[in-house]
Amino acid sequence: MSIYRIAENGESIYHIVAHQYADETVRYAASELQKYLLKSTGAVIPYFSDRCPMQGPELRIGPAVRGESDSAEGLPEEGFRIYGRGEHIYIIGNTSRGVLYGVYYFLEKFCGFACFTKDTETVEEHQTLEIELDEIEVSPAFEFRDTYFRFAFDGDFCAKNRSNTSLGDVSVGRGGRMKWFNFHHSFNDLVPDTEYFDEHPEYFSEIDGERQRDSQLCLTNPEVLDVAEATLRKWIKENPECRVFSVAQNDNEKRCTCEKCMALEEEEESPAGPIIHFANALADRIKDDYPHVLIHTFAYRYSLPAPKKVVARDNVIVRLCSISCRFDRPLSELADEGSPTEAEFVNALRDWRDHASRLYVWDYAVNFRNYCQPFVHLHVLKENVKLFRELGIKGVLEQGNFAYGGGAALDGLKAYVISRLLWDPDTDVDLEIKRFCRAVFGQAGDKMEEYARLAMKICESAPLTIYQNPDAEYITDGFIEAAEAIFKDAMSLAETDEIRRRVEREYLSVRFLKLVRTPIGTDGRDELIDSFFEDVKSHGITEIRERRPHSVTKRIMKESPFMHEHSGYRLYYIMQ
């Protein structure tokens, strides 16, 4: 272990150096190191390329600085090493994104840097910055880490929390991202029924002897494969920045039951059989022309069970969805107790390992029916993410409130903690909750931490699913009363207008629960709902029920006990 004195009394003998032909990401990493070391120590550490003569000890960022060989061998794509050699310190990665992640890790470890939201970050001040360093090697638990919350799509937040989410606005300088095209249900985009059904009903599902619109594809029809290939090639050509393209079942249960599809399904002993054969055929057709492209498909609802024989190609991602599961207790715990839905999902995860080298999970961290309703299960989520790592899952998406404008319900806290867990499932959740609340809510931080823990306690006390109404078992009058008292204190402690506004945003969840649990017809109830929606809009929140405009949701709040009504038109926007 060597000791390096980086700065003292606002001065430093170090220089930050990158290769003279370093790419945009490595150059940005070096500039970020300079910026935050200045904030931490007050020292302006010069940054230049190795074209300039060496002036003293150096912080060498990225590959081949001054012609030296790197020590990146054996690292995964986004892993990095930080080590000392002589008087110099090296931050290197197997890719440029790994170098950037290494810089932020260095700042976290030695300068107390953290990015909690796109608007809140901290860095500790050091009169003397002296570090002990031997060699640090860090790699992500998963190759794909998607914190699918609107709050988490900010490019700086993604880079600083080492998230390579597809929808994040992550520039090349910030490391770029694992960009997907049409990453959800896509059969109807590949072969649209509006375009083909009239002339070719045989392209679509046969059910009870009849071909049906708005169904799935007939995956054993060779012409369907040809049409899908043409569409896929068009997508790839027109979207060169994308690496992953979706070839995935539509969001319905209407799979094809024609003689050929059923024969293949029976041979594979799973409805997933025809899907994987189809995805493999497309993957084979495009791999020589586009060796970098990955094909994505789902194991979802009826296709969840693994096939018996077929194995997905190496360039095919198979993603399992936990949409029907409970989230109040760890999946493995519920499965071990014999809960059928969770046992089916966990067994499917295990079975699929022999049938896909790139196995991903689409997991959930939100109540889609009511975005303001508490869904804070961070301890449970940690155990589930650890299970995914244990089973060799390669990529995880945690879906939260992705509506434009985001939401309340502690979404900012959830997005931050989830980002940390997807990088390292052993992250100390309780510590990160404490740090987040202190940084984001200032002097009201203790009270907001108290509320966060209360919300977690109720969410982990009774069945928690992604489509629950406000009369769910875990929502109690006692919780609302306790939360009211906490927020009253938090409001009084908020030291600035901005912090008070952050507290008020979270208080929307409590106001929502109080309103929907107040009997319809109570004097003043409708006026309070109107006022609530004015405040929701003032915070830039565009939806509090998935894909429903405020006009629809407001009417339901006023007319439907506990919002049990689910009518009204749905918005459609692209999940890119």
Cβ atoms of residues 448 and 503 within 8 Å: yes
Are 491 and 531 part of one and the same domain? yes
Residue 456 lies in a domain: yes
> What CATH number does the domain containing 69 carry?
3.30.379.10
Residues 375-386, mean pLDDT to the nearest whole number? 98
Q: Which pLDDT tens digit goes with each residue over 354-373? A: 999 999 999 999 999 999 99
End-to-end CA distance of the chain: 47
Non-local (6+) Cβ contacts of 195 within 8 A are: none
Q: Which pLDDT tens digit goes with each residue over 182-191? A: 888 999 999 9
Residues 371-391, mean pLDDT to the nearest whole number? 98
Are 242 and 372 part of one and the same domain? yes
Q: Which long-range contacts (CB under 8 A, 24 or more apart) does 527-536 make?
A: 529/554, 529/557, 529/558, 530/554, 532/508, 535/504, 535/508, 535/511, 536/508
Residues 115-121, mean pLDDT to the nearest whole number? 97
Are 284 and 356 part of one and the same domain? yes
Residues 256-285, mean pLDDT to the nearest whole number? 98
pLDDT at position 574 over 70: no
The angle that helices 497-516 and 445-459 make with each other, rounded to 10 degrees, is 30
Percent of the chain with pLDDT over 90: 93
Residue 38 lies in a domain: yes
Cβ atoms of residues 117 and 412 within 8 Å: yes
pLDDT at position 573 over 70: no
Neighbours of 404 (CB within 10 A): 11
Residue 191 lies in a domain: no
Which string of DSSP letters, residue by residue, matches 521-559? T-TTHHHHHHHHHHHHHHTT---SSTT--HHHHHHHHHH
Taking all residues of the chain, what is their mean pLDDT, rounded to a whole number? 96
Amino acid at 89: I
Q: What is the pTM for the complete model shown?
A: 0.95
pLDDT at 177: 86
Cβ atoms of residues 190 and 228 within 8 Å: yes
Tell me the backbone φ, ψ of residue 282, rounded to 5 degrees. Answer: -65, -40
Cβ atoms of residues 131 and 137 within 8 Å: no
Are 467 and 401 part of one and the same domain? no
Which of 431, 463, 485 is the last residue in one of the domains? Answer: 431
pLDDT at 576: 52
Which of 74, 105, 138 is the last residue in one of the domains? Answer: 138
Token pair for 185: 């249900």
**Closest C-alpha among 287, 252, 291, 279 to residue 356:** 279
Are 559 and 466 part of one and the same domain? yes
Domain tally, the chain:
3
Are 282 and 426 part of one and the same domain? yes
pLDDT band at 575 (very low <50, low <70, confident <90, very high): low
Which of 122, 138, 154 is the last residue in one of the domains? Answer: 138
Sheet containing strand 15-18, edge to edge, reads 47-49, 15-18, 58-61, 88-93, 80-85, 135-138
Are 177 and 61 part of one and the same domain? no
Are 485 and 504 part of one and the same domain? yes
Residue 461 lies in a domain: yes
Q: 444: exposed, middle or buried (C-beta count within 10 Å: 0-12, 13-18, 19+)? A: buried
Are 394 and 481 part of one and the same domain? no
pLDDT at 69: 81
Are 129 and 152 part of one and the same domain? no
Interatomic CA distance for residues 444 and 487, integer angstroms: 9
Q: Which pLDDT tens digit goes with each residue over 223-250? A: 999 999 999 999 999 999 999 999 999 9
Interatomic CA distance for residues 241 and 233, integer angstroms: 14
Percent of the chain with pLDDT over 70: 99
Q: Which pLDDT tens digit goes with each residue over 477-487? A: 999 999 999 99
pLDDT at position 45 over 60: yes
pLDDT band at 565 (very low <50, low <70, confident <90, very high): very high
Q: What angle do CA 351, 284, 218 make, to 5 degrees?
A: 70
Residue 42 lies in a domain: yes
Are 284 and 365 part of one and the same domain? yes
Judged by average pLDDT, the poorest of 82-91, 268-277, 402-411, 471-480 is 402-411
Residue 115's domain comprises 2-138
Which string of DSSP letters, residue by residue, matches 129-154? EEEEESEEEE--S-SEEEEESGGG--
Residue 280 lies in a domain: yes
Are 452 and 387 part of one and the same domain? no
Q: Which pLDDT tens digit goes with each residue over 51-109? A: 999 999 999 999 999 998 877 888 988 999 999 999 999 999 999 999 999 999 999 99
Residue 220 lies in a domain: no
Residue 80 lies in a domain: yes
pLDDT at position 314 over 90: yes
> What CATH number does the domain containing 301 carry?
3.20.20
